[in-house]
Amino acid sequence: MFSYIVEFVPYREGKVELLVPDPNRSWQSADVPVFLNPRAARVNRDVSVLALSVLKPKDVLDGMAATGIRGVRYFVESGIPEVVFNDVNPTAIQLARRNAEKYNVNARFYQRDFRVLCNEERFWTVDLDPFGSPAPFIWAAARAVRSGGYLLVSATDTRPLSGASPKQALAKYGAILWKPEWYPELMVRVLYFLLFHAAAIHGKGIEPILAFTYEHHVRVVARLREKPSLVTKNVRQIGYYELDGKQYGPIWTGPLQDRELAEKALELWDDDYTKASRKILDLASREPPVLGYYNVHFWAERLKLRQIPRFDAIISALRERGFVAERTLWSDKGIKTDADPMTFEEVLRGARAD
Ligand SMILES: C[S@@+](CC[C@H](N)C(=O)[O-])C[C@H]1O[C@@H](n2cnc3c(N)ncnc32)[C@H](O)[C@@H]1O
């Protein structure tokens, strides 16, 4: 069946067991026949599977399928009735077919360039999971999503997205960026800006549903609607952030999460999923719609505090003053609040450290 001899081994993830190249090697070197990342990308897949289990679209394009693990999980675990598998790599699509057949997935298979397929067909859901940046594929992806359908996008090029590499950020994302203390969140705000722009070019607006990062994986999920009033509303949510008196952007400044969706997805979580995916959904379900957050360690150092104050003490002090305050999914060291920097500083100085 395979064009050359490749060794595949059984691999369990979520509620499926599939054949994959040795998962200990398959993401560390470029010379493996089919790619699979069993660590960071697994968390990405778990959260995506739980989100689609709630959203229940009629079909999904697993546009860069590799082993097909995403699409098979969407069928088996999320209950999506039809999955379209695509990958340019012939060995990948042969393997995806074999894995899909094991679970009788109602499937179609293509071995095309993602952009070509997305220019020819439309889908209720498009999952775009490239190596590195999704920017070269985003226009085609946004075109292919039906009005009212979903676009799920991964990125692993954290240097441009976080503002660590401003030249690449401008080249790939059309934004002038500088790395803020809340840079993990900046990465999804840049990605949502990219989605907004790609969708708007096709006359569609975006409704952000879920955004998260895990290790070097960045992921956003949005609903797209062909609705001029939504595009106009989106335009008002594109803006800039300030750092040392200068403005950077453009980025998406609106809400990042549909908190109700995250809460419902969390209810479906069980032991077959990673603990990290539970933590992401839990924090997403509570995330206040505020731009950026304070990194407590960074502030403690800046204020020369002898000890790091307790997070629960900081959060309750902020709430007592009438502000929203929560831990954030972007960093274990972060607190998201609408309090201004002076208030935050006062609260930090007054909060207990033991
Ligand atoms: C990061 S891997 C996908 C991993 C997979 N989605 C998963 O969850 O395990 C990226 C895949 O995209 C495929 N690919 C790269 N460029 C492509 C293109 N232009 N069109 C379609 N597939 C492409 C590669 O062959 C590779 O299998």
For ligand 1, mutation pick of 6, 36, 60, 88 (most atoms within 8 Å of CB): 88
CA dist., res. 196 & res. 275, Å (int): 31
Closest residue by Cα to residue 190 from 164, 161, 213: 161
Are 199 and 343 within one domain? no
Within-domain flag for 3: no
Question: Residues 259, 284: contact at Cβ < 8 Å?
Answer: yes
pLDDT at residue 3 in the model: 47
pLDDT at residue 31 in the model: 65
Are 134 and 182 within one domain? yes
Question: Residues 287, 327: contact at Cβ < 8 Å?
Answer: no
Q: First CA to last CA across the chain, in angstroms?
A: 63
Are 313 and 233 within one domain? no
Count Cβ neighbours within 10 Å for each residue of 231-266 and write b for 16 or more, e otherwise: beebeebbeebeeeeeebbbbbbbbbbbbebbbbbb
Within-domain flag for 203: yes
Within-domain flag for 289: no
Ligand 1 center to 161 CA (angstroms) = 20
Are 324 and 187 within one domain? no
Domains: count for the chain? 2
- Residue identifier of the C-alpha nearest atom 10 of ligand 1: 130
Within-domain flag for 318: yes
Q: Last residue of some domain: 266, 284, 302?
A: 284
Sign of the four-CA dihedral 309, 257, 84, 269: positive
Instruction: State the CATH number of the domain containing residue 118.
Output: 3.40.50.150
Are 254 and 119 within one domain? yes
Are 337 and 299 within one domain? yes
Are 174 and 311 within one domain? no
Residue 117 CA: distances (Å) to CA of 128, 141, 157, 214: 12, 9, 24, 29
By residue range, what is the domain housing residue 48? 8-284
Task: Encode pLDDT of 334-347 as tens digits.
Answer: 999 999 999 999 99
Are 108 and 23 within one domain? yes
Are 272 and 342 within one domain? no
> What percentage of the chain has pLDDT greater than the value 70?
96
Task: Identify any residues that bridge with 208 across adjacent strands, giving them in sequence order.
Answer: 222
Within-domain flag for 91: yes
Q: What DSSP letter does each residue of 160-174 carry, written as one string? A: HHHTSSHHHHHHHHS
Per-residue pLDDT tens listing for the chain (354 residues) = 554 556 889 999 999 999 998 877 656 666 678 888 888 899 999 999 999 999 999 999 999 999 999 999 999 999 999 999 999 999 999 999 999 999 999 999 999 999 999 999 999 999 999 999 999 999 999 999 999 999 999 999 999 999 999 999 999 999 999 999 999 999 999 999 999 999 999 999 999 999 999 999 999 999 999 999 999 999 999 999 999 999 999 999 999 999 999 999 999 999 999 999 999 999 999 999 999 999 999 999 999 999 999 999 999 999 999 999 999 999 999 999 999 999 999 999 987 777
What SS3 state is found at 184? Answer: helix
Instruction: State the CATH number of the domain containing residue 305.
Output: 3.30.56.70
Are 275 and 300 within one domain? no
Question: Residues 263, 287: contact at Cβ < 8 Å?
Answer: no
Are 192 and 315 within one domain? no
Sign of the four-CA dihedral 285, 228, 58, 42: negative
- Residue identifier of the C-alpha nearest atom 26 of ligand 1: 66
Which residue in this structure is represented by tokens 């394009």?
61
Q: Measured from the CA of 45, which atom of ligand 1 is nearest?
A: 8
Ligand 1 binding site (Cβ under 6 Å of any ligand atom):
35-36, 41, 45, 64-67, 69-70, 86-89, 92, 113-114, 129-131
Are 192 and 97 within one domain? yes
CA dist., res. 176 & res. 245, Å (int): 14
Q: Measured from the CA of 36, which atom of ligand 1 is nearest?
A: 9
